Structure 1
Amino acid sequence: MKNNIISLVIAFSLGIFALTACNENEKTADKATTAKEQKVLRVAAQAYPLYSPINAAYKLGYFDEEFKAIGASYTWTEFASGPLVNEAVAAGEGDVGFMADLPAIIARSSGQNIQVVSGVSTGERSLAVLTRADSDIKKITDLKGKKIAYAFGSYAQHLLALVLDQAKLTFDDVESVNLGAADSPNALVNKDVDAIVIWEQFITKLTNNGSAKVLIDGTGIKKSNMVLYAVKDFAEKNPELIKAFIKATKRGAEYIKNNPKEAAALLAPKYNVTEEEILKIFGNFNFGVELSDDDVKEITTVADYAYKAGIIKQPVSGDEFINRSYLN
């Protein structure tokens, strides 16, 4: 009986040890899961129609779904412009940002270790030179000697350069005024400037209310690529986070294409426009994450322009700046 009691004690002790070991293994697994869930993508965002696929995906919960599927999460901070996004990323406060081609190129040239990883939208008619509705400026050659407002370093500057070149003019032939998109409309209406170079949603709002007219847009001149960029080191260590973001964005683009009226109702309040206006704005864009060979060529052309014009100090190579591997 003594031997039986000893055997029972040993068996019980081994059982307790096995149960403890099992619990420890479960705790280790829980810690591993928690660590995986703690992977976070910090998004530096903008609330403009140019980025509607991303904003739609955010509103519809597509980012929540895609990041939950890989056991990760994200933070979302909105900024008023591309340069402010660049500042946040440069300060180590963001892992991805989206903006027009030129501000992204400026960020890369300034030393930020970023790469374009997907498209967001293109739209030749989404960027334009506007004059007052009653302006005597009728053609682009009339811009000579005029005061023109645009955001320095924005893709609006590149469009203006192309427009002036068509008219055989240069920036020396006009008076440039550095104004952001939020301030340019009032400057035009109040006759502080003669023309502005601006993007959507401002084009539609100003032309719809009768205060401005389009002198020329980017049709046949500038494709106007909106891009998603990522911090290179972060993306290489966390490719699944970048791919999840791209997948959600693609779903957002498909939603707008297949449900334009619902998408208009969803996004109109965000852009402070009517549903009718946002539907018109949608018509000025091609939404999608693809980066075609033509897109790469366009972005490279913009980079070459920025270097020749002295906007950037260091040239930007398209081969190093654009990474399409995350789209595969």
Structure 2
Amino acid sequence: MLRLKPLLILLAAAASCHLPLARAADKPPLRIGWVFAMANAPAIIADKKGFYAAEGLKVEVKSFGDGPVVQQALAAGELDVAYVGAPPVYQWFSRGLDSRILAKVNYGQAAVIADRSEGVKTVADLKGKKLAGVARGSGMDVLLRGFVLKEIGGLDPDKDVDIVSMPPANMATALQNQQVDAIFTWEPFASESLLSGRGRLVLDVNQKLPNYPWYVVMAPAKTLKERPDDVIRLLRAHIKAIDFLQKNPDEANRIIADAFQIAPIKNGSKTIEPLAVVQEARKRLGWAWRLEAADQQFIQRLMDYSLSLGFMNKALKVEQVVDTSWLQRAEQGR
């Protein structure tokens, strides 16, 4: 019996060490929603390269057409975390959905592209024209109305331009068929339009607002309270994904081209391969995870646009919705 005691102690210790693992395995997956945009590639990379799994995190990852739809899913309790534009986060916060922006995902991505046959060479030339955009009040719509049209073009978005809402995947065809004079879109749709030879670049927003933040990682207060360790794991996987995008562009581009099912593009007799589309898109966007002071100032600017445009009924301060402490904790554990 004396000889058995050390063995029994070892077995008991081993069993106790495995209890947390068993509980982690029994936990429901962290449900992650992301807007279907190339700028949200870190969500794809973290999943495809196994970075979530390497952090001991079981996930369900689902894409959505735009930010408002993601926020609806969050409000309904169907998601735990999201990769989404900052405007939907603070707009829904103003309506009572308590949530926080935790980290940056990307910078850049948006562009105004005009039909080559039209005389639209500047944003101001859009006066009296028909412009394809996304849903009114969405993040991209705030950027379009508040910054692109009002500040850059000196235009009244409600009076001077006919903004037609449509899915970004349909915009290039609408431009080709001359249903609209120009489009305001994101990647990879902007690059597909440009490389096809049908569109002319009128404005790369990243040239006017260098490294402006767009998509962010956010979570409702409920997730932060109930699954804090999983939030940290997610942010560590997010950091790994962005490191991978920066250090392994060729492999990352292949993953992106496959995830977005980018097809070869015909431009006359020339065929442009999917990887070239991704490479073109990377001229207008990049990835970063830290929310710098300048990033937070830009989010405050977006909040002010939303208030002036009537998309919010009360003023907010960026400190109410941004919490960088979670990212700091994730970085400390790297």
What's the TM-score bracket when you normalise by the shorter of the two chains?
A: 0.7 to 0.9
Q: Which residue of 2 aligns with 1:202?
A: 189
Aligned equivalents of 1:115 and 1:230: distance in 2?
A: 6
For 1:258 and 1:24, the matched residues in 2 are separated by: 44
Letter in 2 for 1:168: G
Name 2:164's counterpart in structure 1. 177
Q: 1-side partners of 2:98 and 2:46: how far apart?
A: 26
Letter in 1 for 2:133: Y
* Inter-partner Cα distance in structure 1 for 2:21 and 2:280: 46
> Which of these two proteins has the greater Rg computed from alpha carbons?
1
Aligned partner of 1:318 in structure 2 is 318
Deviates more, 1:255-264 or 1:77-86: 77-86
- Percent identity, please: 25
2:25 alignment counterpart: 37
1:260 counterpart = 2:255: no
- State the SS of the aligned residue for 1:182: helix
Q: Does 1:79 align with 2:60?
A: no
SS at match of 1:98: strand
CA distance in 1, matches of 2:278, 2:143: 23
Q: Taking structure 1 as the reference length, what is the TM-score of the superposition?
A: 0.85
What residue ranges of structure 2 are gaps of 5+ in the alignment?
263-273, 329-334
2:73 is aligned with what amino acid? A
Q: TM-score, normalised by structure 2?
A: 0.84
The alpha-carbon deviation at position 326 of structure 1 amounts to 0.6
Residue 246 of structure 1 aligns to a residue in which SS?
Answer: helix
1:139-154 maps to which residues of 2 (within 5 A)?
Answer: 139-151=122-134, 152-154=136-138
Distance in structure 2 (CA, Å) of the matches to 1:256 and 1:298: 24
Q: Distance in 1 between matches of 2:14 and 2:248?
A: 45
1:285 aligned residue: 285
What is the CA–CA distance in structure 1 between the aligned matches of 2:43 and 2:97, rounded to whole Å? 23
Tell me whether 147-156 or 239-248 shows the greater mean CA deviation: 147-156
Runs of 4+ with >4 A deviation: 22-33
Residues 214-244 of structure 1, C-alpha deviations (whole Å, 9 max, x = no match): 1112122472421010011221332221111
Q: 1:216 aligns with which of 203, 221, 226?
A: 203
Quick check: 2:100–2:221 contact (8 Å CA) kept in 1? yes
Residue 156 of structure 1 pairs with residue 156 of structure 2: no
**What amino acid is aligned across from residue 293 of structure 2 in structure 1?**
D
C-alpha contact 1:155 1:224 (8 A) present in aligned 2: no
Q: 1:50 to 1:164 in 2, by over 3 A?
A: same
On the 8 A contact 1:95/1:231 being kept in 2, the answer is: yes
Measure, in 1, the Cα distance between the counterparts of 2:125 and 2:13.
76
Gaps of 5+ in 1: 1-10
- Summarize the Cα distance change of 1:45–1:225 in structure 2 as closer, same or farther, 3 Å threshold: closer
Match of 2:86 in 1: 101
Matches within 5 A, 1:54-133: 54-66=43-55, 68=56, 72-123=57-108, 126-133=109-116
Q: Which amino acid aligns with 2:72?
A: E
- CA deviations 1:69-105 (Å, max 9, x no partner) are xxx4222222222222111111101110111222222
CA-based RMSD = 2.6
Q: What are the superposed Cα offsets for residues 276-299 of structure 1, whole Å, 9 maximum, x if unpaired?
A: 211222232231211001111111
Following the alignment from structure 1 to structure 2, what is the Cα–Cα distance between the partners of residues 259 and 214?
28
Residue 46 of structure 1 contacts residue 80 of structure 1 at CA under 8 Å; is this kept in 2? yes
Q: Does 1:238 align with 2:227?
A: yes
Q: Amino acid of the residue matched to residue 33 of structure 2?
A: A
Q: Select 1:167's aligned residue among 153, 157, 161.
A: 153
Contact 2:32-2:60 at 8 Å conserved across structures: yes
Q: Which residue of 2 is the match for residue 49 of structure 1?
A: 38
Question: In the TM superposition, what is the alpha-carbon distance from 1:26 to its structure 2 partner?
Answer: 8.5
Residue identity in the other structure for 1:104: V
The C-alpha deviation readout for 1:28-58, integer Å capped at 9, x for no partner, is 8766543333333211133421111221111
One-letter code of the match for 1:241? D
Write the distance in 1 (CA, Å) between the matches of 2:187 and 2:126.
22
Give the aligned partner of residue 214 of structure 2: 225
Whether the aligned pair in 1 keeps the contact of 2:52 and 2:234 (CA below 8 Å) is yes
Partner-residue secondary structure (3-state), 2:164: strand
CA distance in 2, matches of 1:267, 1:291: 24
* Offset of residue 197 of structure 1: 0.8
> In the comparison of the two structures, how many residue pairs are matched?
308
Pair 1:320–1:84, CA change in 2 (3 A): same
